[in-house]
Amino acid sequence: MRAQKFLFVPGPTNVPHGVLSAIDGPMEDHRSPELPQLTLPLFEDLKKVFKTATGQVFVFPGSGTGGWEAALQNTLSPGDKVLAARFGQFSHLWIDMCQRLGLEVITIDVEWGEGAPPERYQEILASDRDHEIKAVLVCHNETATGVTSDVAAVRAAMDAENHPAMLYVDAVSSIGSIDFRMEEWGVDLAVAGSQKGLMLPAGLAIVAASPKALAARKSAGLRRCFFDFEDMIAANRTGYFPYTPSVPLLRGLRAAIDALLEEGLDNVHARHHRLAEGVRRAVKNGWGLEILAKAPKWESDTVTAVVVPTDFDASTVINVAYHKYNLSLGAGLSKVAGKVFRIGHLGSLNELMLCGAICGAEMAMRDVGIRVQPGSGVAAATEYWRTTPGLWKVWDEAARVA
């Protein structure tokens, strides 16, 4: 029997029992006449989660990385110019992918801890008189640094310059947790994965495309087959897929989306914000430490990167937390390796689970010599949670009525 870990990495997240149950069970024929009863409404409800009325959402076997590739391959041609900001490991990797697929990337390098800078996007777009830039990329929530960018502001920058490029957003660690408005923000391609706010195991790349993005597939010259929208569009029309999908994950997705829509997306986002704010108070007010996000406007509601004092190595904290306290924390990646540890706070989570994570991180820090006060983390977090209106009243009422 494996010892269970408290899972506080920013994905995969805890899968609720009801979702696990929907996934578990006998296999089904993916060409059965009943499959469309599952898939057609699911495709519609996914659009609600992305907040798009006119777009189409594709569900591929894959991961967020596969979703990035699908978004690019279906809409761009070799040599196309792409504008993107780099401010963490995942925004970096998407840029790297663009280059490997033969696109030419104009990279805006930003200090890790800040988000996408709309003003610099605008400058560069303004200077692109011939509209050679075909794609503008933004990482909505940079999982590596705990930074959320202002996608609407980037769209505003594009609109201010009347620039016709398409807007591509990595929403992997925001969809289902942080407000994302595909249609309102004019996002053309949005990429999500199953193992974050959607509370599923890894295994699905979920990509939403605007009508403009869908039209772009006709002229897109990048070679593709597995991730081709064309085959998906043809097969999805009647509720099927061009190759064997994971019906178990589709049933899980159905259950997860039911849960999100039943709670209400606004409530889901508010819950994430409230839990995140408690964690930030634990770090700042309780422990007296800093978080990597440089300003409140960048603070992510799904992951917090905690900066350890400069004479300590964050990886030792993570190591002690894992081996001594059964707590899985996220490591600092690349530029911030050893400097931060990350607490994921997204998906199926509540206050007491976070209390356990805060206490575990606190013990591990004390074990390696970082001088934080015992109990100070949860003292700050719990007083915040206890005294601010939570969603518990709603649940309580629901419990009474049900």
Considering only residues 382 to 401 of the shown chain, the ones binding its own copies according to CB under 8 A are 382-383, 385-386, 390, 392, 395-396, 399
Rounded Cα–Cα distance for residues 242 and 240 (Å): 7
Considering only residues 264 to 283 of the shown chain, the ones binding its own copies according to CB under 8 A are none
Report, in Å, the least distance between residue 374 CB and its own copies: 4
Phi, psi for residue 363 in degrees, rounded to 5: -60, -40
Report, in Å, the least distance between residue 121 CB and its own copies: 24
Considering only residues 303 to 332 of the shown chain, the ones binding its own copies according to CB under 8 A are 319, 322-328, 330-331
Radius of gyration of the chain (CA): 21
Report, in Å, the least distance between residue 287 CB and its own copies: 11
Rounded Cα–Cα distance for residues 146 and 293 (Å): 6
Closer CB to its own copies, residue 95 or residue 151?
95
- Per DSSP (E only), the strands in 87-175 are 104-109, 133-139, 141-142, 147-148, 166-170
* DSSP H/E element including 192: strand 189-193
State the SS3 of 53-111.
CCCEEEEEECCHHHHHHHHHHCCCCCCCEEEEEECCHHHHHHHHHHHHCCCEEEEEECC
Q: Is the preceding omega at residue 12 within 30 degrees of 0, hence cis?
A: yes
Considering only residues 237 to 256 of the shown chain, the ones binding its own copies according to CB under 8 A are 242-249, 255
Does position 225 bind its own copies by CB under 8 A? yes
Closer CB to its own copies, residue 121 or residue 241?
241
Report, in Å, the least distance between residue 318 CB and its own copies: 10
Considering only residues 185 to 224 of the shown chain, the ones binding its own copies according to CB under 8 A are 193, 195, 201-203, 205, 222-224
Report, in Å, the least distance between residue 213 CB and its own copies: 19
Rounded Cα–Cα distance for residues 360 and 195 (Å): 23
Among residues 40, 259, 265, 289, the one that binds its own copies under rule CB under 8 A: 259
Does position 36 bind its own copies by CB under 8 A? no
How many residues belong to the site for its own copies (CB under 8 A)? Answer: 113
Q: What secondary structure letter does DSSP report for 286?
A: I
